[in-house]
Amino acid sequence: MRKIITITLVVVLGLCLATTAFADKATKGEIIAKVKEAATMITNKGQDAAFKEINNKKGKFVWKDTYVFVIDLEGTMLARAFRQQGIGMNLMDWKDKSDSPRYPIKEMVDLAKDKGEGWVEYMYPKPKEEAPSKKISYIYRVPGKNLFVGAGIYE
């Protein structure tokens, strides 16, 4: 009987730990919801208030393993909580470090201009890391503005 109880506890503990590990990863649905929430904040409260919240590392647009960013249609980074030294820089010519280098910011800008929203795949370091990892970001053009909001997940 003790053996059965011990095995049951080990299995339950393992499931709890596995669930906790997966709980730290943002989902595509969460990404879309947070991006649209940030876009609404830009529209309703103005860029200054929204960018202040988006740049806040402990704010509501930083969660689990991701964060929201804002880029204008010329490719200039306007807001993000991590790697803030890039805010104000034009990143249109930035190439990722994939086997076949891509221009992710250019792809995002083109997507925002042409379709208004969608996903872009590229290689980018996780926060606090240097080595690039595969990332997909959801891009959503803020209606009536020359900018888009995005957030991504690592695969």
Domain assignment present for residue 147? The answer is yes
Q: Residue 59 sits in a domain of what CATH number?
A: 3.30.450.20
Tell me the per-residue pLDDT of 104-131, one tens digit each, with 9 for 90 and over.
999 999 999 999 999 999 998 876 788 8
- Give the CB-side neighbour count of residue 53, counting CA atoms within 13 A: 16
Domain assignment present for residue 145? The answer is yes
Tell me the per-residue pLDDT of 14-36, one tens digit each, with 9 for 90 and over.
433 333 344 589 999 999 999 99
Q: Which of 100, 95, 152, 93 is nearest to 121 (CA)?
A: 152
Domain assignment present for residue 20? The answer is no
Res 1: pLDDT:
53
Alpha-carbon 82 to chain mean position: 11
Domain assignment present for residue 19? The answer is no
pLDDT greater than 50 at residue 5: no
- Work out the burial of residue 91: count CB atoms within 10 Å of its CB; fewer than 13 is exposed, 13-18 middle, 19 or more buried: middle
How many separate domains does the chain show?
A: 1
Domain that holds residue 85: 25-154
- Work out the burial of residue 86: count CB atoms within 10 Å of its CB; fewer than 13 is exposed, 13-18 middle, 19 or more buried: middle
Backbone phi, psi, residue 70, to 5°: -130, 135
pTM of the predicted model, to two decimals? 0.82
Tell me how crowded residue 123 is: count the other CB atoms within 10 A of its CB. 17
Domain assignment present for residue 4? The answer is no
Domain assignment present for residue 97? The answer is yes
Q: Residue 10: pLDDT band by 50, 70, 90 thresholds?
A: very low
- Work out the burial of residue 109: count CB atoms within 10 Å of its CB; fewer than 13 is exposed, 13-18 middle, 19 or more buried: buried
Res 129: pLDDT:
84
Domain assignment present for residue 1? The answer is no
Q: Residue 62: pLDDT band by 50, 70, 90 thresholds?
A: very high
Domain assignment present for residue 136? The answer is yes
In the chain, the amino acid numbered 109 is: V
